[in-house]
Amino acid sequence: MAQPPYPPPQQPPFQPQAPAPQCYRHPGRVTYINCQRCGRPICPECMVPAAVGFQCPECVADGMRSTRQNQGPYGGERSKNPAFTTLVLIAANAAVWLLITLTGGALSPWAFRLGLRPEGMCLLADGSGRYFPGVGADTCAAYGGAATWLPGVADGAWWQPLTSAFTHVELMHIGFNMVALWFLGPQLERVIGRPRFLSLYLLSALAGSAAVMWLSNPSSSTVGASGAVFGLMGALLVLVLKVGGNVQSVLVWLGLNVAFTFIGVGISWQGHLGGLLGGAAIAAIIAYAPRQNRATLQWLGMAAIGVLLIGLIALRALQLA
């Protein structure tokens, strides 16, 4: 048989086509979209919009879990060491107590400068701690070296409403307050975060001072962190109520401290009451702020309380002046 003049055309080798990618959650659904995190194919039903492209539901859930691990239940970042702020506050109180102890104790000039007095005091210079009641600065100056004028908030000692919360004279006083702070502080910082806890502590102290300004004898002198500590108790009560926890134990502890406030001698029930109400109000703002724009509402609410307290203290100072 004769051969053809030309070789027959060569057929290309058979190459099977790769199967079309299918959604990993819905086999049989062809898709050409991949998850931006894990790379698995996802169909339109499984696509979750991300900052760039789409992600699968599992990757979105993993991302949300990792975000929640660093976020507290009421917003803000969780403290890596919830006891840190409490230790700093205890150290500050201890440092002021040591300064007062080394410079005369109850008669230390630092105790008079840092303690809270709504109005000034004309103190005898004999070291007895006695003073002339109802004597103003001009009259006190007429006594010469026999008396010293100690200014109060009404006389321009604007720092006293806050510094008095870090001032202690008696060892037992600072001991009780710091033990209570140690038990309450880390628990609250663990739940609400460091910035909110520090704001709670300082505003509660200011609330206690505002109550002292309005409800106590203008010539009295008040020291101690009890107002701030009672504010932490009030905050703990609100947070326990919010989550439906065991309220009885908190109420028993709070009741014992309230009873001691009125049974004890020389205890400022005004500062305790003001701190308790202030701490409860601040905790309510933190705990019950709606999830949407929660941080903004929390900080605006705490700022409003701070402005209100400063305004009350300033108004009372103007009245006394």
Active-site hit among 199, 204, 221, 226: 226
221 in helix, strand or coil?
A: coil
Does residue 272 have an active-site annotation?
yes
Alpha carbon distance 32, 19 (integer Å): 12
**Quick check: 79 and 189 in contact, CB under 8 A?**
yes
Structural contact between residues 160 and 208, judged by C-beta atoms closer than 8 angstroms: no
> Phi then psi for 71, rounded to 5 degrees?
-115, 135
∠ CA 306-312-317, nearest 5°, is 125
Maximum pairwise Cα distance, the chain: 146
Structure tokens at 166: 């870090």
CB-based burial, 209-224: b 16+ in 10 Å, e otherwise: bbbbbbebebbbbbbb
The C-alpha torsion from 170 through 173 and 179 to 183, rounded to 10°, is -150
**What kind and span of H or E run contains 280?**
helix 269-288
d(CA 268, CA 259): 12
Catalytic residue among 79, 164, 204, 272: 272
Per the annotation, the verdict on 168 as an active-site residue is: no
Q: Which two tokens stand for residue 37?
A: 């995190």
Q: Which helix (H) or strand (E) holds 48?
A: strand 48-49
Residue 267 and residue 212: Cα distance in Å, rounded?
11
Q: Which two tokens stand for residue 302?
A: 């705490």
What is the spatial distance between Cα 306 and Cα 202, in angstroms, rounded to a whole number? Answer: 9
**Active-site positions?**
226, 272
